[in-house]
Amino acid sequence: MAQSLTGPGGRAASPRFRPDLMPYLFILPAVVIYLVFNLGPVLASFVLSFFKWDLLTPTAEFNGFKHYNFILNDERFWGALSHNFIFLGLAVVIPVSIGLLLAVFIYEIRRGRVFFRAALFLPAIFSGVVIAYVWKWIYHPFAGVLNPALELVGLGAFTQSWLGDHKIALYSTFIAYTWASFGYSMVIFLAGLQDIPTDIFDAARVDGANFRQKLFRVTIPCLYDVFTFVVTLRIFTAMGVFGVIYILTGGGPYYSSDVIDIYVFRMIGNFEMGWATAAATVNTMIVVCLSTGFIKWREWRSWSS
């Protein structure tokens, strides 16, 4: 009775006797697909890392921390993890700085902003597989272009086996990663710059600030929240790097460029699901702690200053 009195326009006005099912119907298909094919497997990975697996099938046999015991004593796990951290350390500095500088340059010019933004962002649109193969051929010992190019400009001393030397393979993959990722930082910084009121920059110019002073005293402080976002994005991509390294080196030579996601993938391929899920769980906890810890720290810092 109450329902017909309120009419269709006054839905929220009076308490209902029959629960309104429409909102649930609208979210239902998304919820089901999301739970079954995304969040469910994530939670299952955590739970099942404590159970024995029979090849691809989890069993009901509780295994305690055995899988964790194995991976935490596996030097390859620690090797892979340390490479992720090297990647992360480089990733929050190099592509982010390049992206910031290019964004500032584009912001400073008048004509051609759209062109430079589009051209410099181009590598970021490609699949990791395409990026990796472009660089695989650049680095290639016979057909590659980097070594002949170095010789051409008189830097022949720097020619080397870019992907075959265990001391530099990881860094060679990082160059490919940088090429494909500074564009993300750049477009996000540029969007952030365009949100800053221009009179702040005008005031700095009137006060006679030079480029460096403007960058460090005005631009970077104004982009505080954008920095938080850009660096958080780097935490996720650096800790989850897979395709580029998988194709360029496969984690080699001698595991010198191995990373967690390749480690997990290899474990699954060997049907060692217990170890794979345990390693994935440790990695997940690290990534969640790093990203939320970083965001909280940034919030606390901006709040306390």
Partner 1 sequence: MEFVSSDLQRRLRGAPFYAMLVAATVITLVPIIWVFASALKSNKEIRENALALPQEWRFQNYVDAWFGASFDQYFFNSIFITVTSVAIVLFLSSLAAYSFAKMRFRGNQMIFFVFLIGMAFPLSAKLGPLLSLMYELNLANSRIGLILVYVAGSLPFAILMLRAFFQGFPQELEDSAALDGCSRFQFYLRILLPLSKPSLMALGIFVFMGTWNEFFQALLLINEDAKRTLPLGLNAFQDEYFTDFALSFAGINITAVPVIIVYIMFQRNLIEGITVGSVK
Write out the binding residues for partner 1, residues 62-91 only, by CB under 8 A. none
* CB-nearer residue toward partner 1: 255 or 263: 263
- Residue 229 is a binding residue for partner 1 (CB under 8 A): yes
129: Cβ contacts below 8 Å, ≥ 6 apart: 243, 247
Question: Nearest 5°: phi and psi at 56?
Answer: -90, 0
Q: What is the b/e burial string over 6-15, where b = at least 16 CB atoms within 10 angstroms of the residue's CB?
A: eeeeeeeeee
Q: Which of 2, 6, 13, 40 binds partner 1 (CB under 8 A)?
A: 40
Q: Which of 94, 201, 261, 266 binds partner 1 (CB under 8 A)?
A: 261
Cα–Cα nearest to 249, from 167, 145, 151, 146:
167
Q: Which of 30, 153, 157, 206 binds partner 1 (CB under 8 A)?
A: 30
Q: Which of 13, 93, 129, 203 binds partner 1 (CB under 8 A)?
A: 129
* CB-nearer residue toward partner 1: 167 or 247: 247
d(CA 191, CA 186): 9
> E strands within 2-118?
51-54, 57-62
Other residues' Cβ atoms within 10 Å of the Cβ of residue 116:
16
- Residue 130 is a binding residue for partner 1 (CB under 8 A): yes
Q: Any idea what DSSP says for residue 232?
A: H
* CB-nearer residue toward partner 1: 4 or 38: 38
Q: Which of 94, 100, 102, 170 binds partner 1 (CB under 8 A)?
A: 102
Q: Which of 1, 5, 125, 153 binds partner 1 (CB under 8 A)?
A: 125
